Amino acid sequence: MLKIIIIDDASEKVAKYKELLAEFPEINFDFVDIAASLVDAEEKLSENQYDLAILDLFLPLRYGDVPNPDNAVTLLKDLSEDDDFKMPFNIVGITRMKDADPKYRENFEQQLLAYIIYEQEKDDWKNRLRQKIAFLIKAQRSIQVQNYYDYDVAVINALQSENKHVLRAFGEDGWQETKIPADLSTTYYTKVVTTSSGRTIRVVSCYALKMASTSSAVLTTKVIYNFRPKYLFMTGIAAAVDRKEANLGDIMIASKVWDGASGKIKTDEEGSDIFYPDFHEIPLDADINALALKLALNRPLLNSIEENYHGKKPEYKLNLRIGPIASVPAVLASEAEVDKLEVHVRKLLGVEMEGYGMFFSAHNSAHPRPKYTILIKSVSDYADSQKSDDYQDYCMYTSASLAYHIVVNELQY
């Protein structure tokens, strides 16, 4: 879909342009604007981003004034120098004044802009403009199917407090708030990071407006669409299900995730409602699973992460655990509910609320999909009635710190 502005005060020429545009089924006239003066054009160009501007050389300052070619030159100058205006991706100058001073044509040619002589009785102007529009339509279609990564790494979180630890882990200096004009509901932070090998990579980080898989799926989709990351991480806090398998503070990497609330409820012969889960797991990539197993044995790394935290932390040494994690729509504080999940995965490691949404979105997104999607969450409590938030800050820190280590030391770019 092209967004086009026709800047011309001659109604008969505007009508001819519309006839030409009507040849293209891809053009929706709801996205074709008309400006009949310099003032009108600059007002529209301050509010809208256009793919193509068709600019008449002899343009009045205001509608009803005498047209003057200096006004078109003024518009080109303002577009180039004033950031209040949105520069169209393409500008075509057009005039029926064949004897116009050559200096005006030079203003277009100096900026490599097309300059067309409009002769109503001839088709040359139509053919040239038609070719330009066909080119733009094809180029726009190509952009929509480009299969390349843009950013190297994206780290997303369910909570702003978790995201603050990500920004600290990667170094608080240098982050910039990056605005996406069409997406004002999410705050994105971007930064150039230097890896241990000396390579510079681009990182983007953000957090969801709410917890739960639906919110994380929406956020993941937006991140992939806007930034095209090669590697996608989520860090934060989660609950472990077995005190023998994971201590408070331990870091967990999901070897597979699934939606623990997906399924159906049936009534049995005795009249009791029974939940039958619909178990569809999404596994961690085998390369990252192997890396996680290696990092779990890296005692100096884990000791360093633990020792660099100076707040309240558990009495246990920090460990890295790898295993299945289930995403559920609410905080679990019931061993009975955990037992229902463990029926399907005997070695269930933990439960949280967002991982499945991230994995599902990444695995089903438009290309290019992230090469690796990684869920790293640390044990802030257990999925039983004995809950506490004593170690949440520590767990946000440890999960973010491990993600940072993987990004700058382990991944290939």
When pLDDT is cut at 50, 70 and 90, the band that residue 142 belongs to is confident
Residues 351, 332: contact at Cβ < 8 Å?
Answer: yes
The total of other beta-carbon atoms located within 10 Å of residue 291's CB is 19
CA dihedral of residues 344, 348, 353, 355 (deg, nearest 10) = -90
- Give residue-wise pLDDT tens across range 23-56: 998 999 999 999 999 999 999 999 999 999 999 9
The total of other beta-carbon atoms located within 10 Å of residue 349's CB is 24
Q: State mean pLDDT over 134-163.
A: 88
Q: State mean pLDDT over 223-247.
A: 93
- Give residue-wise pLDDT tens across range 227-236: 999 999 999 9
Residue 346 has pLDDT above 80, yes or no: no
The percentage of residues in the chain with a pLDDT greater than 70, rounded to a whole number, is 90
**What is the per-residue DSSP string for 83-98?**
TTS---SEEEEEES-T
Q: Is 266 exposed, middle or buried (0-12, 13-18, 19+ CB in 10 A)?
A: exposed
Q: State mean pLDDT over 218-233.
A: 96
Q: Which pLDDT score is estimated for 333?
A: 46
Q: Which pLDDT score is estimated for 341?
A: 54
Structure tokens at 370: 């992230």
Q: State mean pLDDT over 220-244.
A: 94
Q: Which pLDDT score is estimated for 330?
A: 55
Structure tokens at 210: 């709410």
Point out the least confidently predicted range of 71-75, 164-168, 256-260, 357-361. 256-260
- Give residue-wise pLDDT tens across range 254-305: 999 988 766 666 676 777 766 666 668 899 999 999 999 999 999 999 999 9
- Give residue-wise pLDDT tens across range 367-405: 899 999 999 999 998 866 566 678 999 999 999 999 999
Q: State mean pLDDT over 86-109.
A: 89
The total of other beta-carbon atoms located within 10 Å of residue 111's CB is 12
Beta carbons within 8 Å of 400's beta carbon, 6+ residues apart: 155, 162, 165, 166, 168, 169, 235
The percentage of residues in the chain with a pLDDT greater than 90, rounded to a whole number, is 68
Q: Which pLDDT score is estimated for 144?
A: 64
- Cα distances from 326 to residues 103, 196, 236, 357, in angstroms, run 69, 33, 15, 11
When pLDDT is cut at 50, 70 and 90, the band that residue 215 belongs to is very high
Q: State mean pLDDT over 330-351.
A: 62
Residue 223 has pLDDT above 80, yes or no: yes
Structure tokens at 170: 């990667």
For the chain, what is the mean pLDDT?
A: 90
- Give residue-wise pLDDT tens across range 58-97: 999 998 999 999 999 999 999 999 989 999 999 999 998 8
Residue 332 has pLDDT above 50, yes or no: no
Q: Which pLDDT score is estimated for 385?
A: 56
Structure tokens at 104: 């005006």
